[in-house]
Amino acid sequence: MKRKSLSATKKILNFYSTKLKDPHVQKLYKLFLNNITSLELTNKKIMVGVSGGADSLNVLFFSFCYALKYKTKLYPVIIDHKLRKESTNEAKNLKLKLKKDFKINCKILSKKNSKIDKNIQSYARDLRYDLFLEECNKHKIDYLLLGHHKDDLIENFFIRFIRGSGLKGLVSFNKNLSEYNGLKIIRPFLNISKKELFEVNKKTFGFFIDDPSNYNDKFLRSRVRKLLKNLNKEGLNFNKFNLTLQNLSKSDQVIEFFVKKNVLENSKYFEKQKKIILNQSFFDNPEEVILRSFSQVIQSISKKKNYPRGKKVISLLNSLKFSSKKVKLTLSGCIFEKIMDSVIIYPEKR
C-alpha cells in the first residue's frame, strides 16, 4: 500500500476511534453491537440505507465502526425517489459531503416515475425497498441496515391502525430483523428514541438533512406525529405503548404457532410437479389461521416479486370454500383448482 493510502487509512481509523471514546457514542455503539452480533455478519456484504437523517447517519457511522473491526463490506446507498423537485440535488449534495468530509462513497439509486397524486409516501416506501432489493440482488447482498427508531415504531403502529391493519400488520414492524422478498432487513435502533439519535449524531458526523415532508400535513405520517404529541400530553409514553405491543406480539405468536401446524399437517408439497395439495382440514381452522396459512402457501409457490394483499386472498378463499363444484382460479402467478375436498396449487406456465 502506498504511503498516501496508509496515511488516509490511519486518519479514517483515528476519526472513528476518537468519536467512540465519547460515553454517549460508546453506549449506542454497544447497543448496536448487541442487536447485530448474533447475526454473524463478519466478512459479509451489508447495504446501508442513507437518507441523510440523524437516524440513518448513526447507522452509517456505527456500521463503519463495525466494518473496520470485523472486515465487513459495506455498500452505502442513497435513494432519490424524485417525488420532490429538490430530491435529486439533496441526494447529490449528501453524497458529495460524505465523500469530501468523511471519505465515504455512496451510490445513488433512483428510478424515473410517473406523476403520483395519491399515497405518495406509501409509493415512496415501496420504491425504496424495491430499489434496495434490486441493488442487493445485483451484488449478492443479503443484509440491509436501516435507521428506524422508537418513534417510527409508534408512528407505524398508529398509521396501520388507522388503515385497518390486522394483528400481524400492527406488530410486524416490531422486529430488529425482518425480511422483504428474501432480503434480511436489520433495524438496530428500534428501542432508541429520535431525540437520543440526534444527540449522538451531533458527536459523530455532526450534520443531518431535515426532510421538509416531515412537517407537511398533506401526509398521514405528519398528522399522526402531531396526534402522538397530544397523546403524549395525555399520558401515552413508550413504556406503556411497548407493554401493549408486547401483549399483541404474544397473541400474534400464538396464531403463528397454529399457522405452522396447519401448513405442516394439512398441506403436501410435491417437488417434481412444483405443486401443493391442501386437504379439507386445512380450512377447518379460525379465519386468521386459514388466511395466514394460505398466504404462506402462495408465497412458497408464486414466482411473483410482490405477493397479493389480504382482500384478494380472502376473495379467493371464499370462492374455494363455498363452491360445491370444481373450481379453477388464478392469483399471483398461481393456479388454484378445487377438486372434491382438496385444493391443488401450482404455478402458471410462462
Which of 168, 314, 170, 180 has its CA nearest to residue 255? 168
The pLDDT tens digits of the residues spanning 62-72 come to 999 999 888 88
Model confidence at 8, pLDDT cuts 50, 70, 90, reads: low
Amino acid making up residue 236: L
The percentage of residues in the chain with a pLDDT greater than 70, rounded to a whole number, is: 92
Cell 483515528 sits on residue: 14
pLDDT at 258 over 90: yes
C-beta contacts of 338-343 below 8 A and 24+ residues apart:
341/279, 341/280, 342/277, 342/278, 342/279, 342/280, 343/277, 343/278, 343/282
Q: Which has the higher per-residue pLDDT, 276 or 306?
A: 276
What's the predicted TM-score (pTM) here? 0.82
**Dist. CA 154–CA 238, nearest whole Å:** 8
The percentage of residues in the chain with a pLDDT greater than 90, rounded to a whole number, is: 48
Model confidence at 322, pLDDT cuts 50, 70, 90, reads: confident
Q: Which has the higher per-residue pLDDT, 305 or 322?
A: 322
Model confidence at 117, pLDDT cuts 50, 70, 90, reads: low
Which of 40, 101, 102, 38 has its CA nearest to residue 70? 40
Give the Cβ contact number of residue 122 at 10 Å.
15
Amino acid making up residue 309: R
The pLDDT tens digits of the residues spanning 195-248 come to 999 999 999 999 999 877 777 778 888 898 888 888 888 888 888 888 898 999
Give the Cβ contact number of residue 183 at 10 Å.
18
For residues 303-322, average pLDDT: 77
Which of 60, 339, 22 has its CA nearest to residue 200? 22
Q: Which of 176-180, 213-217, 316-320 has the lowest mean pLDDT?
A: 213-217
**Dist. CA 327–CA 337, nearest whole Å:** 6
pLDDT for residue 292: 92
pLDDT at 29 over 60: yes
Q: Which has the higher per-residue pLDDT, 309 or 54?
A: 54
For residues 322-344, average pLDDT: 86
pLDDT for residue 321: 79
List the grid coordinates of 104.
465515504
pLDDT for residue 70: 85
pLDDT for residue 7: 62
For residues 104-108, average pLDDT: 94
**Cβ pair 143, 186 in contact under 8 A:** yes
pLDDT at 23 over 90: yes
Model confidence at 46, pLDDT cuts 50, 70, 90, reads: very high
Model confidence at 6, pLDDT cuts 50, 70, 90, reads: low
Model confidence at 306, pLDDT cuts 50, 70, 90, reads: low
Give me the domains of the chain, ranges plus CATH numbers. 3-236 (3.40.50.620), 245-347 (no CATH)
**Dist. CA 187–CA 49, nearest whole Å:** 11
**Dist. CA 197–CA 55, nearest whole Å:** 6
